[in-house]
Structure 1
Amino acid sequence: MVKLAAKCILAGDPTVGKTALAQIFRSDGAHFQKNYTLTTGVDVVVKTVPVPDTSDSVELFIFDSAGKELFSEMLDKLWESPNVLCLVYDVTNEQSFNNCSKWLEKARAQAPGILLPGVLVGNKTDLASRREVEAAQARAWALGQGLEYFETSVVSPSPPWVPGA
């Protein structure tokens, strides 16, 4: 049995649901907190994740970072040497999607010369009537950047990660 450690950077604009996603993931979908405060630095969520079809596991350190530019500039040291990236945007906010390029560039700058695997997650799919970013558009961008693509809603995360339609 091997236990590995991995550092995951959770990045995206303010209020896209990064903290809610981290909390839902940590609790296996059992805990949805309705009120959150703005993350002003970084919160670290730790969860041991089993590797399918093995007796191995990965201790995943998720760095839930501030989305506000003012705070994100202080995070460069904390973002050093990531193993994986999770970019999050709000499907009802086109600007949050457009800013994913900036967040991706910032994360990749912390791992120069290394292929940084990751995912793009469109959150808040429960607000379908307010959608501004179509899944096909986001998926195409993600694939062009070498990222996987998923959509979800932390309000109704059943199942918690739904591949983009």
Structure 2
Amino acid sequence: MVKLSAKCIVAGDTAVGKSTLVQLFRSDGSHFPKNYSMTATVEVSVKTVQIPDTGDSVELFLCDSPGKAIFYEMTEKLWDQPGALCLVFDVTNESSFSSCTKWLQRVRSKTLSPHLPGVLVGNKTDMAGLRAVEKGQAEEWAASNGLEYFETSAKELENFERPFQALAKAFHHLYQERVEHFQSLV
């Protein structure tokens, strides 16, 4: 039984639902924040994810980052050596999707590893009539950047746990690959 820890950067533009997704995941869906307050610093939440069929677990340190550019300089100091990345955009806001490129570059610049498990999350799918970013477009962008794509509705409590579970599994898989590689050297 192995217990791993991973610093997971949760990044994206302001008001895309990053904090809500983190709070829902941490509380197993029992806490939906009804009052929105802009995140001004990195807020860290911790949640342990069991890896199916292994007995192992990954403790995710979810670093919920502010989306406003004025906070970036302060934020980036806390991003050193991430173990995983969760990029979030609002499916009704094309600009928040376009910004994912800069967020991805910023986070990847903080790691020495060529392999950073990551997911792209299209949030607010409950607002289908206002959708500005098509699922196929987001899936294609995610795949071209080595990310797994998920769609969620924090408001409707749909799929909020899946991106984080996938990150924990990907981080665990990367660990397993490294162990196997080192064992092959012996």
Q: Are 2:96 and 1:123 equivalent residues in the alignment?
A: no
The answer to which of 126-135 and 113-122 deviates more is: 113-122
- Structural RMSD (CA): 1.4
What CA deviation, in whole Å up to 9, does each residue of 1:109-144 have, x standing for no partner? 001452211000000000111100000001000000
The match for 1:23 is 23
Aligned length: 163
Contact 1:16–1:88 (8 Å) recurs in 2: yes
Task: Compute the TM-score of the two structures, normalised by the length of structure 1.
Answer: 0.94
Counterpart residue type for residue 56 of structure 1: D
Distance 1:162 1:40 in 2: 26
The match for 1:135 is 135
Helix, strand or coil: the match of 2:79?
coil
What CA deviation, in whole Å up to 9, does each residue of 1:14-59 have, x standing for no partner? 0000000000110111221111210011100101111111221111
Distance 1:115 1:159 in 2: 25
What 5-or-longer segments of structure 1 have no aligned partner? none
The answer to which of 31-40 and 117-126 deviates more is: 31-40
Contact 2:21–2:160 (8 Å) recurs in 1: no
Distance 1:148 1:56 in 2: 22
Q: How does 1:142-157 map to 2 (within 5 A)?
A: 142-157=142-157
Task: Compute the TM-score of the two structures, normalised by the length of structure 2.
Answer: 0.84
What 5-or-longer segments of structure 2 have no aligned partner? 164-186
The match for 1:65 is 65
Bigger helix fraction: 2
Distance 1:70 1:159 in 2: 31
Counterpart residue type for residue 119 of structure 1: V
Counterpart residue type for residue 122 of structure 1: G
What CA deviation, in whole Å up to 9, does each residue of 1:71-110 have, x standing for no partner? 0221122000001100000000000000000000000000
Bigger strand fraction: 1
The answer to which of 51-60 and 124-133 deviates more is: 51-60
Contact 1:41–1:72 (8 Å) recurs in 2: no
What CA deviation, in whole Å up to 9, does each residue of 1:140-164 have, x standing for no partner? 000000000000000112343579x
Report runs of 4+ in structure 1 exceeding 3 Å deviation.
158-163
Contact 2:93–2:132 (8 Å) recurs in 1: yes
Distance 1:16 1:54 in 2: 34
